[in-house]
Structure 1
């Protein structure tokens, strides 16, 4: 009865912790790159529409957040598919 609960939770019978998972690389770079690309896209779009500094900042922030969200979804999808 003593070893059954430990085995269920992934612990070894002697109480040792399981080995750490190997590093998987840097998937966060997709999110960062997407956020920067979105901010640049939004800034240029607002400037082309003759917006003032507040318009440019708002477009850059909005597009940056949107592109980062899309990058996060892509990162999770690639992580699930490839690993």
Structure 2
């Protein structure tokens, strides 16, 4: 089964080797046909503590690294665009 990859923004980097990433998804409401925004926060592993608040990043599913961490950072979106 392929691992999920999500795009998001770092909203917290206070913990060592961990960042909190806010991921937003948009979808059309089934009845009202209005575009709805939903957000969710994921805690991701950041080995070198290189990402700061406001950075756009890509995260990927991985084996559990701690009680709350199930994701790891692949790259920043700026580096992926180049």
- TM-score for the superposition, normalised by structure 2: 0.22
Structure 1 or 2, whichever has the larger Rg, is 1
Question: Which has the larger share of helix?
Answer: 1
Question: Which has the larger share of strand?
Answer: 2
- TM-score for the superposition, normalised by structure 1: 0.22
